[in-house]
Structure 1
Amino acid sequence: MPRKEVPPMPPLDGSIQYLKGVGPSFAKKFEKLGITTVRDLLLHYPRRYIDYSQPYTVASAPYDVDCCVRATVLQKEPDRRIRGGRVLTRVLAADDSGTLNLSWFNASYAAQNLEIGETYYFEGRVGGTLTRREILHPLVRTQAQVSLSPLLPVYGATEGLPSGRISRCVEAALPAAADLPDPLPPELLTRYRMPPKSEAVRAIHAPHSTEEAAAARRRLIFEELYILQLGIFLLRSHGRRAAGAPMRPLDLEPFWRSLPYEPTGAQRRATQEITADLCRNTPMNRLLQGDVGSGKTLVAAAAIWYAAQNGWQSALLAPTEILARQHAATLADRLEPFGVNVTLLVGGMKAAERRVALAAIEDGRAGLVVGTHAVLTDKVVFKNLGLAIVDEQHRFGVRQRGVLVGKARSPHLLVMSATPIPRTLGLLLYGDLDISVLDELPPGRKPIKTWFITGRKRRDMYGYLDQQIEAGHQVYIVCPAIEENELDSGMKAVKQYYEDTACALLPHRRIGLLHGKLKPKEKDEIMQQFKEGKLDVLVSTTVIEVGVDVPNATVMVIENAERFGLSALHQLRGRVGRGAADSCCILISDNENDSVKERLHFLCHTSDGFAVARYDLEHRGPGDFFGEAQHGLPTLRVADLVQDTRTLKVAQQEAKELLTKDPNLALPEHRELSDEVERLFATAGAMN
């Protein structure tokens, strides 16, 4: 019988579909992880490893923790059918210190190859009692397997594509790692004693020791941060070379005198930094960062006024239609007395309104255009756009920012964010931008009282909410999920909570429901009803986090508060306290973990968003306020912007030195490096 031919290895940029063990069906599942080529798969690094080289004894295995236990099989029980039609398979194992129950549901095959009297390595979460431990659905490895590969990689997986399947596909692809070109200059590899790229990729997927895995990871982290920094510096230098919309110096006092209140020192300072940029011959690239309620919109208004007095149009891009309408109304009050025409452009406009707005933008009558993504469409043509402003920067990728800037010949750019980020990290995250910080709150803003309670006090709290509504105020209630999750029944699902809790405990009040699965128009309608006082209570997911101003809302209730990072909780808290009445935020959690309680108590005693951000960084890492999109920067595969700051500084310095010698990475020996920068930044559209 002829031997079955092994399919040839597809090239690095060839489809993963043709790799042994993948095929069309699994290729579609790999797409969900952003993996379409052999190269993508090789660069899908393990999240962690299961270390089989130092197993626990049965008695010493930590309770309720994933770990590896070495034990000998004593007995295999017959399969039995249990309630719900499931089949339970059980095996008894032991060592000198105790016995270990191993159980599988609907997976009788898992125990078929286990031999009585043989010793195996079992990995999983240990439960049971001190004298009789148990593991449900353990991973099993033999002594021979552990000797060959003591560290088992664990990969980020998706539905229908578990880590084990990914691991087998990576194993099939590993020979292609030898073809990976090395973007790092040879002198860097020598200076920092780093292995070549192909060797590092092989070692991170199939390390022979923890030391080898660590060395591979260090090299790949350095490479990623080095390429990130090169890309950021190139973006910055491209902006610096372009000719902007130069403006002449003006006295801002007429604008400040028109206000019904005195601006803060921070607002004046930030405006001064912005107007200095506007008067340069290169376009401004500046981030205006300020805590909730610090008055960023007023600074933006001053910049728009300055541009208008110089004869330039401005555009402000907001993430939602309701926020765009709010900005348009606020800015019209500030600017129209100076003859600056404010034009709104959103998706929900009627065709006739839209035609009028487009004509005003094109012939220059619109001094300021406020809108949503509608401003980015091809039909929008500016006469002389000089200043582009993006509100809530992390809601827009770098590509969208670039589309707005592309509406004119290198206009000045101001991006605004209410997400507090410690300055050192901000300089990296927004490395192509200068930074202005608003670190004062306007006078008259009352502090928001914050309380932490457990679910036992929920009914009493609803009595307090009823009193607040009776006094004419409104209430937000935020839940972290849309539908009840079977695996996590403690999580307050917003739909069920709305019906079973909010409507039941406040039967005579007007209650609205808002979540991310609603259509944008439906969301805006519900939010508008709440803003106009037609609803007493808004039960919502975190979609209310971004900037809608409802001065009459005085209470923010956050269920399952432990599910949110402190920075997210701080953002939500900032939705109240915008009027004259006293406001409060109530955090509800039944979580008994001491560190969770400590975090929530910390928030009760501080109102400083930058202190909150620092605490989040130190205790939970950057994910809480950067999110997966990392504010429009490329998605990093292996580096951590917080944990790897030391490597980052070195990479930053090396990137600067290289660009002094080759400012555009144009030399032939830097071709691969240039390609890697393009490839990394393609994930955010930043180099387009």
Structure 2
Amino acid sequence: MTDLSQSVQFLKGVGEARAQNLATLGIETIEDLLGYYPFRYEDIQERRIEEIDDQEKVTIKGVVVAPPVVTRFGYKKSLLKFRMMQDHAVFNVSFFNQPYLKDKVVLGEDLAVYGKWDAKKMALTGMKILGSGQQGDFAPIYHVSQKVKQKTLIPLIRQAFTDFGDQINENLPRSLREKYRLMDRHDAMFAMHFPKNPAEHHQAKRRVVFEEFFLFQMKLQGLKQQEKSTANGLAIQYDNTRLKQFISKLPFQLTDAQKRVTNEICRDLKSPQHMQRLLQGDVGSGKTVVAAIVLYATVTAGFQGALMVPTEILAQQHMESLNGLFDPLEVRVALLTGSTPTKERKSILAELAAGEIDIVVGTHALIQEGVVFRNLGLVITDEQHRFGVNQRRVLREKGWRPDVLFMTATPIPRTLAITAYGEMDVSIIDELPAGRIPIETRWVRPGQLDSVLDWSFRELSAGHQMYVICPLIEESEMLDVKNATEIYEHLKAFYAKQEYQVGLLHGRMKNQEKEAIMEEFKDGKTKILVSTTVIEVGVNVPNATVMLIMDADRFGLAQLHQLRGRVGRGAEASYCILVADPKNEYGQERMKIMTETNNGFVLSEKDLELRGPGEVFGFRQSGLPQFVAGDLVADATILEVAREEAAAIWQLPNWQVLPEYQGLAQVLAAPEKQFFD
């Protein structure tokens, strides 16, 4: 055990009680303490008045030119005022509710004051008095608790560097440190806590972020190399002649992008190495057809396939799509969901175990106990980020290392793809089928709703249909949003003269009721369908040309894009109308972005930029690592460089034994806290 892995109780002044308090902050060892970095810094360097921006927090040093005066008002309220001069500029200084500072202000003496500068009034609202100004600094601010204060933590960190600093070993190869001009590890860690100035902090953070990303990518690349180095999967020797015949009989031509990704997946199927591939494709790009082709290939080799999706509506949709493409005498497809009747479920489970069912489509029901396959070869998870890491793992374990294909219509920014899925291969369908007309997106205010409904008569009278999406089912005292039942009643009255049928769909309905409502909409009997976001994925009604989204600012960009993708699936021009009155710039920015692009990958990058990875995916669901210093958005360039360098090192034969990489090999081999929660 190195000294750094010892308990913080080895520090002077840290007893059992204080150690327990530090543990609540995640600080248990000396190493934890050294790596407990500030979340921000206060720049209390002395500044010249002419250099300071309005409302900037700064330290100003000058001479006290008017005696301090304390004015009291209200209950326990006070105002301390005095005047200072820097060079020939005189300015006012005021402190609220800190009358005891009066004794520190002496007429004619130098003083340094930290506070917020008001350029128009030539005044400083004080926060701290720094005495003579000799202790100006770039001060660290930490996340602390009621029992662990800043004034407790900072001396402990200084002591840890004094007592154990010589134990901080370098773990980056010299070649990388020189190539990117990175600080040594000890110096960088110290400067993260106690930088002399912003420039030194910037250099320290570059080093720490690069190290964090680089070590993570080294582990991911190592997993990838391990997967490829051994024949540790199934070699699915599909019948290429039958597969080509199947593709030639499809009712449409595959796009070049669909052909490319199909070839990539089929190569993986034949390989004896275990496949883990992510298939990304924008809304309407044709991922389902690719899934059908590779499932068919799997069946021709004598294996079974499983397709897991997040909702019963989507499962039903996929079931119908596959049955429409496959010859029922050649490929047998079954549907298994939570709503499958008990008698039918027993029959499906028996036939699955006997190998009589070739492909099963289902929801979470697929990963329940009792679901046994005879010879599972391929597992496909659609909208995979909606399933937890453990749920996906359980399905994979239903067979002996079946090949795994993850699909998503939520375009994942490259930054997240190379982080969360760095050990996977990635295929992208970056082309829409021919003849698709781009969806026109408009943003209107709630007061314009009736004029939008008037306009909708044009589309409805042409025989087309319309979705209306609402965030809530019923009224809520918490949120002032239009609810589905209220909108449903309003639209029934609005379209009553035209006798247009209006339907209502939401998640609280029973499955049979949902199916009946969707069937009526698909068949064209229902002209307008009011729904909550249960409609978000999988529903395919080519005749629907209008998507009206109420309170659109309540949704994320990715979700809005998914909803928009429910229209524009036929040959007619389609429209997405966003009804929203966002009160902040963030909401307004999202509405503007939606009207400017139909490209899901552009939107996903913007969504990541605006909301951050935790909001876009949710850490626990996606398996994204939680980095200490690195930011997946702000430090995306460093992440990419770290990935490239890690991949290059893993290409070197037996790199672990080379002298330059000894420190790196040791840190990767050592047990440590997991990146994932």
TM-score class, shorter: 0.7 to 0.9
Alignment match of 2:223 (pick from 209, 231, 235):
235
Alignment match of 2:386 (pick from 381, 388, 395):
395
Distance 1:265 1:668, change over 3 A: closer
Please tell me whether the aligned partners of residues 101 and 132 of structure 1 are also in contact (alpha carbons under 8 angstroms): no
> Residue 49 of structure 1 aligns to which amino acid in structure 2?
Y
Does residue 111 of the first structure (1) align with residue 103 of the second (2)? no
Distance 1:481 1:360, change over 3 A: closer
Does residue 375 of the first structure (1) align with residue 366 of the second (2)? yes
Does residue 651 of the first structure (1) align with residue 639 of the second (2)? no
Q: CA deviation at 1:378?
A: 4.7
Q: Distance in 2 between matches of 1:397 and 1:146?
A: 54
Q: Distance in 1 between matches of 2:363 and 2:46?
A: 56
Q: Distance in 1 between matches of 2:634 and 2:210?
A: 12
Alignment match of 1:475 (pick from 452, 467, 470):
467
Q: CA deviation at 1:261?
A: 2.7
Q: Distance in 1 between matches of 2:653 and 2:214?
A: 16
Aligned to 1:53: 45
Aligned to 2:240: 250
Q: What is the percent sequence identity of the aligned residues?
A: 33
Distance 1:295 1:654, change over 3 A: closer
Aligned to 1:211: 199
Q: Distance in 1 between matches of 2:138 and 2:510?
A: 49
Distance 1:77 1:587, change over 3 A: farther
Does residue 673 of the first structure (1) align with residue 664 of the second (2)? no
Give 1:274-673 correspondences, 5 Å limit. Answer: 274-335=265-326, 337=328, 339-396=330-387, 398-421=389-412, 426-427=417-418, 430-461=421-452, 463-464=454-455, 473-477=465-469, 496-498=481-483, 502=487, 506=491, 508=493, 531-532=518-519, 533=521, 536=528, 538=530, 540=532, 545-549=536-540, 554-558=545-549, 566-578=557-569, 582-588=573-579, 590=581, 600-601=591-592, 603-613=594-604, 625=616, 628=619, 631-641=622-632, 643-648=634-639, 650-656=641-647, 658-659=649-650, 660-662=652-654, 672-673=666-667
Q: Distance in 1 between matches of 2:133 and 2:508?
A: 57
Q: 1:501-534: per-residue Cα shift (whole Å, max 9, x none)? A: 84785474768696xxxxx766978965763548
Aligned to 1:489: none
Distance 1:535 1:409, change over 3 A: same
Bigger radius of gyration among the two: 2
Q: CA deviation at 1:362?
A: 2.1
Distance 1:20 1:368, change over 3 A: same
Q: CA deviation at 1:307?
A: 0.3
> Residue 9 of structure 1 aligns to which amino acid in structure 2?
V
Q: Distance in 2 between matches of 1:145 and 1:351?
A: 82
Distance 1:437 1:350, change over 3 A: same
Q: Distance in 2 between matches of 1:336 and 1:93?
A: 90
Does residue 80 of the first structure (1) align with residue 74 of the second (2)? yes
Q: CA deviation at 1:293?
A: 0.6
Give the alignment's TM-score, normalised by structure 2: 0.75
Q: CA deviation at 1:681?
A: 3.9
Distance 1:304 1:150, change over 3 A: same
Q: Distance in 2 between matches of 1:558 and 1:93?
A: 57
Q: Indicate the SS of the match to 2:361.
A: strand
Return 611-620 or 311-320, whichever deviates more: 611-620
Q: CA deviation at 1:585?
A: 1.5
Q: Distance in 2 between matches of 1:336 and 1:113?
A: 88
> Residue 367 of structure 2 aligns to which amino acid in structure 1?
L
Q: CA deviation at 1:451?
A: 1.0
Aligned to 1:3: none
Distance 1:469 1:50, change over 3 A: farther
Return 389-398 or 595-604, whichever deviates more: 595-604
> Residue 225 of structure 1 aligns to which amino acid in structure 2?
F
Q: Distance in 2 between matches of 1:227 and 1:562?
A: 38
Q: Indicate the SS of the match to 2:251.
A: coil
Distance 1:265 1:320, change over 3 A: same
Please tell me whether the aligned partners of residues 76 and 90 of structure 1 are also in contact (alpha carbons under 8 angstroms): yes
Return 255-264 or 343-352, whichever deviates more: 343-352
> Residue 430 of structure 2 aligns to which amino acid in structure 1?
D
Q: Distance in 2 between matches of 1:344 and 1:242?
A: 33
> Residue 424 of structure 2 aligns to which amino acid in structure 1?
L
Q: Distance in 2 between matches of 1:223 and 1:134?
A: 40
Q: Distance in 2 between matches of 1:550 and 1:41?
A: 57
Q: 1:175-202: per-residue Cα shift (whole Å, max 9, x none)? A: 4564876471564686466555455344
Please tell me whether the aligned partners of residues 307 and 379 of structure 2 are also in contact (alpha carbons under 8 angstroms): yes
Please tell me whether the aligned partners of residues 231 and 274 of structure 2 are also in contact (alpha carbons under 8 angstroms): yes
Q: CA deviation at 1:213?
A: 1.9
Distance 1:162 1:342, change over 3 A: farther
Please tell me whether the aligned partners of residues 60 and 114 of structure 2 are also in contact (alpha carbons under 8 angstroms): yes
Distance 1:360 1:604, change over 3 A: same
Please tell me whether the aligned partners of residues 560 and 588 of structure 1 are also in contact (alpha carbons under 8 angstroms): yes
Q: Distance in 2 between matches of 1:358 and 1:183?
A: 56
Distance 1:664 1:55, change over 3 A: same
Q: Distance in 2 between matches of 1:120 and 1:237?
A: 58
Please tell me whether the aligned partners of residues 70 and 99 of structure 2 are also in contact (alpha carbons under 8 angstroms): no
CA RMSD in angstroms, aligned pairs only = 4.9
Please tell me whether the aligned partners of residues 353 and 373 of structure 2 are also in contact (alpha carbons under 8 angstroms): yes
Q: Indicate the SS of the match to 2:210.
A: helix
Q: CA deviation at 1:304?
A: 0.2
Return 564-573 or 634-643, whichever deviates more: 564-573
Return 423-432 or 251-260, whichever deviates more: 423-432
Please tell me whether the aligned partners of residues 484 and 504 of structure 2 are also in contact (alpha carbons under 8 angstroms): no
Q: Distance in 2 between matches of 1:553 and 1:17?
A: 69
Please tell me whether the aligned partners of residues 170 and 663 of structure 2 are also in contact (alpha carbons under 8 angstroms): no
Distance 1:146 1:346, change over 3 A: farther
Aligned to 2:8: 9
Q: CA deviation at 1:250?
A: 0.8
Q: Which ranges of structure 2 fall in alignment gaps of 5 or more residues?
A: 1-6, 106-110, 495-501
Q: Indicate the SS of the match to 2:673.
A: helix
Q: Indicate the SS of the match to 1:62.
A: coil
Q: Distance in 1 between matches of 2:602 and 2:547?
A: 21
Q: CA deviation at 1:236?
A: 1.2
Distance 1:616 1:234, change over 3 A: same
Aligned to 2:211: 223
Distance 1:91 1:552, change over 3 A: farther
Distance 1:483 1:624, change over 3 A: farther
Q: Indicate the SS of the match to 1:586.
A: strand
Q: Distance in 1 between matches of 2:633 and 2:224?
A: 22
Q: Distance in 2 between matches of 1:373 and 1:17?
A: 49
> Residue 236 of structure 1 aligns to which amino acid in structure 2?
K
Q: CA deviation at 1:283?
A: 2.4
Distance 1:163 1:417, change over 3 A: farther
Q: CA deviation at 1:578?
A: 3.4
Q: Indicate the SS of the match to 1:253.
A: helix
Q: Which ranges of structure 1 fall in alignment gaps of 5 or more residues?
A: 1-7, 82-86, 104-109, 486-492, 515-519, 684-688
> Residue 8 of structure 2 aligns to which amino acid in structure 1?
M
Aligned to 1:107: none
Q: Indicate the SS of the match to 1:679.
A: coil
Please tell me whether the aligned partners of residues 629 and 635 of structure 1 are also in contact (alpha carbons under 8 angstroms): no
Q: Distance in 2 between matches of 1:328 and 1:145?
A: 77
Q: Distance in 2 between matches of 1:247 and 1:55?
A: 70
Q: Distance in 2 between matches of 1:556 and 1:284?
A: 38
Q: Indicate the SS of the match to 2:220.
A: helix
Q: Indicate the SS of the match to 2:297.
A: helix
Aligned residue pair count: 633
Q: 1:234-285: per-residue Cα shift (whole Å, max 9, x none)? A: 2212322243221335132322244333332322222122112212222222
